């Protein structure tokens, strides 16, 4: 009996026990759905966040207050000693043509007319922020140096703020209220998307000096530093550390590049993807155990059939191949059905939730199909071997 004949006989056997075959496949279907969707979601989130981090600029680094990521006890609470004077000092003493852009962040309620929006990030920046962050203005213009020096109440808003307050109307030139103060909208930034759970477009940018005055603060949240050339990054970072050490201690600040942030994120996301895949794979193992149980029952029920076939000259290998083929077919059909359900689920979710952007990963599909086939083969070996080793005389006597 060749492989094609074994396949036909296996399909006939599965059709003769439709309900049992369906329930056996169901375990594989659920396992494949879990693997494909979880791995695809993990890879999709990784790709989206990687793109966002890279979009911040490959030649960008930041100065944070306090010590971050320097081993045990490094993230302890400390007083923020990073001030505007340190940014000015960097502007005066830094080489490599770097652009220094200090930032102050606060969360506040904003309002336009009768429409208000709570928990919006208010970001106090300098005039060169747009260039330092590689973040362009889509409508209108950004703030100028005179706006910073004159403590003017002007602002530039993100896309999410525009959509919430102005819908489809042009916000440039309108007045909005930030922390109870009236600000004139100069422009709208281009969309930057999500970074982890933070909506980068849900921001209102105002002059740094104005932010410090209305919020009553004199320290900085961080400092952006942009280098014209990527190859100057390491030397520029070292120079920044030396300049700041003249007035701050080593524990008062941390200098980190986007590359370091991206590298750390990729390591974490890789571990999470593997962990999610492993958790999902457990359901495939359970499905494989179900295949083994059903195939063992099938061998017991068809003992007399096996005895007749052996009496007519069927070899042990042919019997083994037939039952192993049945197990593999169950896992393959279950895998294909699972993948089709995944595509259907993503299509329906995308139709009802347009913001849902998960794409089925070819890598996840390949892993799921290979693993489900392996499970069918692995767990089908024992019952197939048991069938092949049956003594024909004992099998014919079996009732």
pLDDT at 197: 65
Is residue 75 a part of any domain in this protein?
no
φ, ψ of residue 326 in degrees (nearest 5): -60, -45
Indicate the residue among 247, 281, 303 that finishes a domain: 247
- Are the CB atoms for 48 and 357 separated by under 8 Å? yes
Both 346 and 376 in a single domain?
Answer: yes
The span from the CA of 396 to the CA of 385, in Å, is 18
Residue 57 lies in a domain: no
Average pLDDT of the segment spanning 124-136: 88
Is 74's pLDDT higher than 50? no
DSSP secondary structure letters along 89-132: HHHHH--TT-EEEEEEEEEEEEEETTEEEEEEEEEEE-TTHHHH
268 in the same domain as 240: no
Between residues 261 and 280, which one has the greater pLDDT?
A: 280
Instruction: Decide if 65 is inside a domain.
Output: no
Identify whether 70 is part of a domain.
no
pLDDT band at 175, cuts 50/70/90? very high
Of 247, 280, 308, the residue that ends a domain is 247
Which residue stretches of the chain are H helix? 3-16, 18-55, 84-93, 129-132, 145-149, 159-165, 208-215, 233-244, 258-301, 303-311, 316-352, 362-388, 392-397
Establish if 129 belongs to a structural domain.
Answer: yes
Whole-number percent of the chain with pLDDT over 70: 80
Question: For the chain, what is the mean pLDDT?
Answer: 80
Q: Is residue 73 pLDDT above 50, yes or no?
A: no
Give the span between the Cα atoms of 218 and 86, in whole angstroms: 12
Q: In the listed set 220, 247, 274, which residue is the last one of a domain according to the structure?
A: 247
Instruction: List beta partners, residue 62.
Output: 224, 256
Better-predicted residue by pLDDT, 94 or 350:
94
DSSP 3-state of 180: coil
More confident residue, 321 or 179: 179
Residue 308, domain extent: 3-52+264-397
Q: What is the pLDDT of residues 373-382, one digit of tens each?
A: 787 777 777 6
Give the whole-number percent of the chain exceeding pLDDT 90. Answer: 29
């Amino acid at each position: 009996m060749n492989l094609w004949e074994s396949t036909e006989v296996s399909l006939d056997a599965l059709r003769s026990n439709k309900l049992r075959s369906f329930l056996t496949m169901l375990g594989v279907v659920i396992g494949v759905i879990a693997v494909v969707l979880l791995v695809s979601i993990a890879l999709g989130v990784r790709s989206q966040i990687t793109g966002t981090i890279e979009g911040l600029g490959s030649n960008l680094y930041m100065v944070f207050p306090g010590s971050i990521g320097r081993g045990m006890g490094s993230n302890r609470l400390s007083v923020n000693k990073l001030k505007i004077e340190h940014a000015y000092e960097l502007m005066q003493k830094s080489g490599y043509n770097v652009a220094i852009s200090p930032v102050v962040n606060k969360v506040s309620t904003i309002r336009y007319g009768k429409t208000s929006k709570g928990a919006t990030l208010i970001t106090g920046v300098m005039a060169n922020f747009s260039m330092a962050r590689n973040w362009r203005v889509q409508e209108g213009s950004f703030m100028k140096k005179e706006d910073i020096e004159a403590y003017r109440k002007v602002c530039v808003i993100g896309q999410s703020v525009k959509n919430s307050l102005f819908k489809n109307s042009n916000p440039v030139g309108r007045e909005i209220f930030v922390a109870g103060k009236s600000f004139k909208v100069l422009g709208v930034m281009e969309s930057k998307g999500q970074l982890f759970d933070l909506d980068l477009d849900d921001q209102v940018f105002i002059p740094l000096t104005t932010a410090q005055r209305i919020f009553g603060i004199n320290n900085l949240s961080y400092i952006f530093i942009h280098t014209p050339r990527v190859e100057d990054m390491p030397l520029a970072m070292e120079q920044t550390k030396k300049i700041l050490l003249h007035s701050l201690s080593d524990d008062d600040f941390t200098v980190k590049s986007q590359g370091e942030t991206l590298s750390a994120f990729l390591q974490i996301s890789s571990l999470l993807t593997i962990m999610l895949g492993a958790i999902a794979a457990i359901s495939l193992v359970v499905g494989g155990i179900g295949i083994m149980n059903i195939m063992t029952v099938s061998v017991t029920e068809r003992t007399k059939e096996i005895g007749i076939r052996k009496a007519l000259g069927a070899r042990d290998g042919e019997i083994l191949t037939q039952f192993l083929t049945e197990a593999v077919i169950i896992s393959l059909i279950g895998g294909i059905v699972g993948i089709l359900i995944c595509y259907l689920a993503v299509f329906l979710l995308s139709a009802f939730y347009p913001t849902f952007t998960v794409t089925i990963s070819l890598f996840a599909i390949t892993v799921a199909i290979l693993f489900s086939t392996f499970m069918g083969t692995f767990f089908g070996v024992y019952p197939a071997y048991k069938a092949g080793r049956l003594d024909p005389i004992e099998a014919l006597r079996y009732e």
